[in-house]
Structure 1
């Protein structure tokens, strides 16, 4: 396994590739770069279907390679040409990639130091592996790729090659610096509780998509916001913490912290608890991720302790929010059960927003498909994971009467 040092080279801007540049993580990542002049440069950009925004980003940062999920390099070229004309830029001609494999190709682009994977969903798996294979530091916001890929992803990663960007895992990584692995007693992963904290299970049945999107703290996309409402997001984060930090699942505990100031905590064997606290701003973990293991001055605003405030912590009601317990059981069952869990959830969330199922059907469907799943008797590989993902999506779509 590689012993490469992934620390930034002093005196040289760190070259950043952004996967999902037009999404929430990507746009905030570019904001971090804007506010740290001379510290970073943009090596490559890969965006989704918002060609207008992607083109403006490309013309502003002028990366050598630009890719889009839109399956037409001509449409991307036209968008960049328009954006360049509007900005008065005449000499910019990047290499263009288009289609479903563009993100993976760009993640492996050699002229980069760090790849920020900000895609949401299982489609982030192949870019994650491409970045690791290319030897880049991976600033990982796409939790799903690690969760469904599990040990397959870890076998490609050198020590120190994955820098977590989720606020909870960034907090854990920071707190873990306070002790050795043998001194860790427990990881405490905080949750905002979402918009339905205190609801009964019966009350959850009538939740509407509009209510599920009303997160009390964070401004996120539809999938992540809905996952936060069902607590599936916290379930995925518990599994991600297990994989990132090699702490057993029974020593990882979710705790509801409504203020979203303490992003997670580590309890050590002597009874000490180290917490990472900051106002809810994803620019802090993004900045630390792309500059890992060093901090970026002024990345975000600190807590103001001159003003009175109260922080509360409550146990997660697992009789109402069953997603975390279900994920722990799935992760312990086999190397592919979490691929099923994630795939079912993604299909069910879309069905919920299309008005095809109730809110509580999301987690109930995950449980049903997991019960009906029999792992394949084959060596764990990327191909096996992707085939499992494909089966789970098709099976869920058949159950719910929707398209996969």
Structure 2
């Protein structure tokens, strides 16, 4: 936890904050008793640790103590509520909550969203287990509730250890940090290292953090910049401005998607995610002064026009490579087709054949008893000859084709007697 309250002589005092612990405040030097900010459970202050796993100062439950049942920070109560409303994607095992991750992102959006009656009236701490509006898939909704609960505890290591994740088909549970990276910069640096040097994750990945600024890309679309890491930046982009426009600076966001590392020609490397669906971004507000969390929201779903545009772009991207291959080697593909057409053209339609084929077609037409054309003289070779303007010189004047060539003159003598005989 990042807050506590003083408790002296049976009286609840003012609030104290975790960032004051390392400055040796008077209440720490005098060992004034501290209690939970939401119930009467005793807590103790823990200073910042330095080492392989650095951790900030925080307030932790005293030994053998548990939050009251009505306290919104009671892990047992919250774990049961999350498992009950998760539609089977989360279950309680001992004192831990296991969240089952799907194999890819497409399986998340295919699940049925959680349906509830809306925010619980009188939820002063913003910890009611209710669905983010618009409706989110069960996995994202459960993850949002877990992150908001850990935010109340200041991401205490002992509380974080009560949440595990599982890959599909595996019985061994992984730490929560294998799925959700944040809020410390070291958490995002761990994801950066996994995407560059180590084996890349085979399951959906989330980043939790505060929106540091809303920037604009080269096409004047909003870009969310989270807290920068060591030597790289963290940004959320999208081709649909409607997915990022509802988020403002200083809001907390849980971004679930396919993260990657992009290294531009100039500037620092970027740990980025392209949002494609509304359920990938859940955001809310949180006040350190009042310990209040605003209701969680997510951007509106994509419209039909946006989905159609995305499908068209996907289709173009899929066909781009085969189309370029066909355009780059046109001689290979039409070659067999050209050979087949040239081989079929001479026997089926030689130059003197068009008039001969038109005559039997005319004779065959009146053969069936069709009432539309009863008289046979309608289809006569005489009207068919003027119907073909291009080949008329061939049938009446067979002497025209052999004239231009010299050798055919000898053959011409053999043809003339034959034609005279006719």
TM bin, normalised by shorter chain, reads: under 0.3
Higher RCO, 1 vs 2 (CA within 8 Å, ≥6 residues apart): 1
Q: Which structure has the bigger radius of gyration? A: 2
Richer in strand (by share): 2
Give the alignment's TM-score, normalised by structure 1.
Answer: 0.23
